[in-house]
Structure 1
Amino acid sequence: MKKNIKSILIFLVIFGLGLYSFSIKKNITVNYLGVESDNELLLYFQETHPNNDAILCGYEDLNDDGRKDLLVIYVEEYRKNAMVVVIDTGEGFKLSDHTHAPIQNQKIEFKDIDKTGPIEFIVSGSKDGKYGYAIFRLIDDKEIKDLFGEGMEDCC
């Protein structure tokens, strides 16, 4: 009888720890994305890319129209990531073309480098210890144009 009670208590403790670690992992994942999980642009991305997990997002007005857009770095396939911009048109959402993105240690920064709109964004990251970065601009709500970069071909 005492053995059964101990076994049940051990099972409950292990089960409780499992639930606790799952909730922490889920919270870390949401915080790591860079936007809230209920961001409507992120939800649109998830709806249009149900088989692609978002890794990191940046939320900024990328086409200089006064509405924030969402840059999404996502897993395209094994060891191949891509990025796309979800554009808020004011009447709905649309997607830019996609381009390559770093595999590991992704980082997004927004800078108005030339002091004219639209704003530029810097994406950096690594792959197998090789680091790279590139400066991009969204052109005509369609193309993610690589303006300048170094080492991106080695980390994407």
Structure 2
Amino acid sequence: AADGYGRMAGKPAATLLHLGPGLANGLANLHNARRASSPIVNIVGDHAASHSRYEAPLTSDIQGFARPVSQWIHSSASALTVGADAARAVQASMEAPGQVATLILPADTAWGQADTVAAPLPLPSRAPVSGATIANIAALVQRGVKTAFLLRGDA
């Protein structure tokens, strides 16, 4: 559903996933989203940082799971940075032509005190197609070269 929303809405979809196994359950669909350049922000909960040494049930390498399907991965270090980290994830998901951003939130980042709300970051602007590229395409079409146009986004 997130892949379809990201493709149709032109803005990031969001997923909320439980630990590494929750992310693992979505890997096939996130693979498709990455291939389609769908803007998605994955928020993956993790055990509290202080619990990592205990190898608790469901402990896994979340970054390792996320790497093949995400162009941007970050783990928040404290409650104080969660808002800014989330804003960066949204911004990263909108990098042209669209990408999957995964934000990992250890449980203690939800328990901690935060005193500010992060402002949204500016969305990246898309580079315009150069005049030379348009002229080259027009020349091919005018010469009668068999042509197919694959258009995306706002085309």
**Structure having greater relative contact order (Cα 8 Å, sep ≥ 6):** 2
More helix by share: 2
Higher strand share: 1
TM-score range, shorter chain: under 0.3
TM-score (normalised: structure 1): 0.26
